[in-house]
């Protein structure tokens, strides 16, 4: 880290909207020292999505447990001329001492359910808002998108090819991770493979073919360097490319591994895959698989699978890595309790349920029936499991080391347990039932009454909140 480039992977403490710091300073000046609880959640699912896949908790925990202000950051903040030295001294000493509970990575969540909750001294809880929204929102968005591709692929493997179009290097890095949790079998991005232990995959580019005198010599050269490689066959003409593959395979020295597959990256993948399959089969290459890529998303994969296209696996890129149809998730971070007092916001259409909570998923016969958002101290409904578990306890990480294979398996099981209608790519007519427990409703009524009285006393209108 240099002073000129602290960057998001430098000290994390400046990864905050300025108002987090000014509000924290105001709380500090006011002597606000009590515990506050914030919930991180979405108010509604993106249109057409039936569920979300929680992801990014690992990075959230890492950031919070490393939340510091070094002299570089403090010097910068001082230079703004906004902050009193007493507050900057507080920041110099500050470590995150709060408690965080979260839905495990890979589990399924719905609108109105906390994905993560923070209970901490107000100053700390406020400072981490921007960071938490950013890391949880982004990875949850990508994992949720990938889970839809997984549904469409119906068991066929698909891999993440999004790196070149993701929103910067870091986005590509974490998109690969989230896509894996969501169901991808691997990624083309080597840095992500290295860091997260993901399978890395790749074929060849058109430029490689063009850099050779002809396709045949390109294939030969590549197979010599990488026996068993996947060959890209659409640089000039896809079906002719398949014929070249057959010729090259015939000429391979005995005992040399044959190409494991061919990649189609353009054109009508349904038609071309059939033609290519025929050429390969007739040419004695039934073992050479077909990988399709090029502007794919869950809808295009679904079409290809339904049409019976003989495609063995998919490379899914841009539209998955950027969640192109919904390129952001409306995650919010709302104050729900302060010093034990439940808090609500009354802005129209933006009701917030007060208090510390637990979400219980009622499961019967291996199927998820409904979720119940409860007060944290309520008894669990029968046949349910709690979704929120501690990941940081008074500043200490209690989240086990990340296990992406476990998260991936959790996603698979959680999605499989959903009602069939929710496992479709089209919007479910009957959204998954998310109930609010009577005890939590009672608390909300109490808090809203209080806030309403306050608002009325101030001359404000009646609350128009709806969940």
Q: Within 231-250, which residues bind a copy of itself (CB under 8 A)? A: 234-237, 240, 243-244
Residue whose entry in the numeric block shows the structure tokens 């490319």: 241
Candidate ranges 41-49, 98-106, 213-221, 408-416; the one touching a copy of itself (CB under 8 A): 213-221
Q: For every residue of 219-257, which 3-state class applies, written as one string?
A: HHHHHHHCCCCEEECCCCCHHHHHHHHHHHHHCCCCCCC
Residue 111 touches a copy of itself, criterion: CB under 8 A: no
Residue 271 touches a copy of itself, criterion: CB under 8 A: no
Q: Are strands 116-121 and 99-102 parallel, antiparallel or unpaired?
A: antiparallel
Q: How far is the CB of 216 from a copy of itself (least distance, A)?
A: 7
Q: Closest CB to a copy of itself among 139 and 185?
A: 139
Q: Closest CB to a copy of itself among 221 and 271?
A: 221
Q: Within 394-453, which residues bind a copy of itself (CB under 8 A)? A: 451
Q: How far is the CB of 115 from a copy of itself (least distance, A)?
A: 14
Q: How far is the CB of 314 from a copy of itself (least distance, A)?
A: 16
Q: State the virtual CA torsion across 279, 284, 286, 291 in degrees, nearest 10.
A: -50
Q: How far is the CB of 98 from a copy of itself (least distance, A)?
A: 15
Q: Within 302-361, which residues bind a copy of itself (CB under 8 A)? A: 318, 322-324, 327-331, 333-335, 338, 343-348, 350
Residue span 49-88 as binding mask against a copy of itself, x where in contact by CB under 8 A, dash where not? ------------------------x--xx--x-x------
C-alpha distances in angstroms, 461 versus 16, 367, 446, 453? Answer: 33, 44, 18, 10
Residue span 139-178 as binding mask against a copy of itself, x where in contact by CB under 8 A, dash where not? x---------------------x-xxxxxxxxxxxxx---
Helix ranges (DSSP H) in 44-118: 57-65, 71-79, 85-93
Which of 117, 119, 140, 188 lies at the binding interface for a copy of itself (CB under 8 A)? 188
| 8 A C-beta contact, residue 40 and residue 109 | no
Select from 186, 238, 188 the least CA-distant residue to 209.
238
By three-state DSSP, how is residue 164 classified?
helix
Select from 5, 393, 313 the least CA-distant residue to 14.
5
Residue 9 touches a copy of itself, criterion: CB under 8 A: yes
């Amino acid at each position: 880290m240099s002073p000129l480039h602290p960057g998001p992977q430098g000290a994390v403490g400046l990864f905050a909207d300025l108002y987090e710091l000014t509000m924290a300073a105001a709380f500090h000046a006011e002597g606000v020292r009590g515990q506050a609880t914030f919930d991180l959640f979405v108010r509604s699912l993106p249109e057409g999505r039936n569920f979300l896949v929680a992801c990014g908790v690992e990075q959230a925990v890492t950031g919070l447990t490393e939340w510091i202000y070094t002299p570089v950051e403090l010097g910068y903040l001082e230079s703004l001329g906004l902050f009193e030295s007493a507050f900057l001294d507080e920041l110099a000493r500050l470590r995150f001492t709060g408690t965080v509970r979260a839905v495990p990575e890979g589990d399924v969540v719905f609108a109105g359910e906390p994905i993560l909750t923070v209970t901490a001294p107000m100053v700390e809880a406020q400072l981490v808002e921007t960071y938490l929204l950013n890391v949880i929102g982004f990875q949850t968005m990508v994992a949720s998108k990938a889970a839809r591709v997984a549904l469409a692929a119906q068991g066929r493997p698909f891999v993440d090819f999004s790196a070149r179009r993701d929103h910067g290097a870091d986005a590509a890095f974490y998109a690969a991770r989230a896509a894996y949790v969501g169901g991808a079998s691997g990624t083309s991005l080597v840095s992500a493979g290295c860091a997260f232990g993901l399978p890395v995959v790749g074929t060849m580019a058109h430029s490689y073919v063009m850099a050779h005198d002809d396709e045949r010599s390109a294939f030969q050269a590549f197979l010599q360097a990488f026996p068993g490689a996947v060959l890209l066959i659409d640089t000039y003409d896809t079906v002719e490319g398949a014929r070249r593959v057959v010729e090259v395979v015939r000429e391979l020295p005995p005992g040399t591994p044959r190409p494991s597959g061919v990649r189609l990256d353009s054109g009508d993948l349904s038609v071309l895959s059939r033609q290519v399959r025929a050429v390969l089969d007739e040419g004695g290459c039934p073992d050479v698989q077909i990988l399709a890529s090029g502007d794919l998303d869950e809808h295009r994969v679904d079409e290809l699978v339904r049409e019976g296209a003989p495609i063995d696996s998919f490379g899914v890129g841009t539209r998955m890595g950027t969640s192109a149809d919904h390129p952001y998730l409306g995650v919010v971070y709302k104050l729900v309790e302060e010093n034990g007092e439940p808090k609500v916001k009354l802005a129209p259409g933006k009701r917030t349920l007060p208090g510390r909570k637990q979400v219980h998923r009622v499961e019967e016969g291996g199927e998820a029936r409904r979720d119940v958002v409860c007060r944290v101290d309520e008894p669990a409904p029968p046949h349910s499991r709690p979704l929120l578990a501690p990941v940081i306890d008074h500043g200490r990480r209690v989240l086990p080391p990340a296990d992406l294979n476990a998260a991936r398996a959790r996603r698979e099981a959680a999605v499989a347990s959903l009602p069939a209608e929710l496992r479709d790519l089209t919007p479910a007519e009957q959204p998954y039932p998310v109930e609010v427990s009577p005890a939590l409703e009672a608390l909300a009524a109490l808090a809203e009454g209080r806030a309403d009285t306050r608002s009325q006393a101030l001359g404000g209108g009646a609350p128009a909140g709806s969940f």
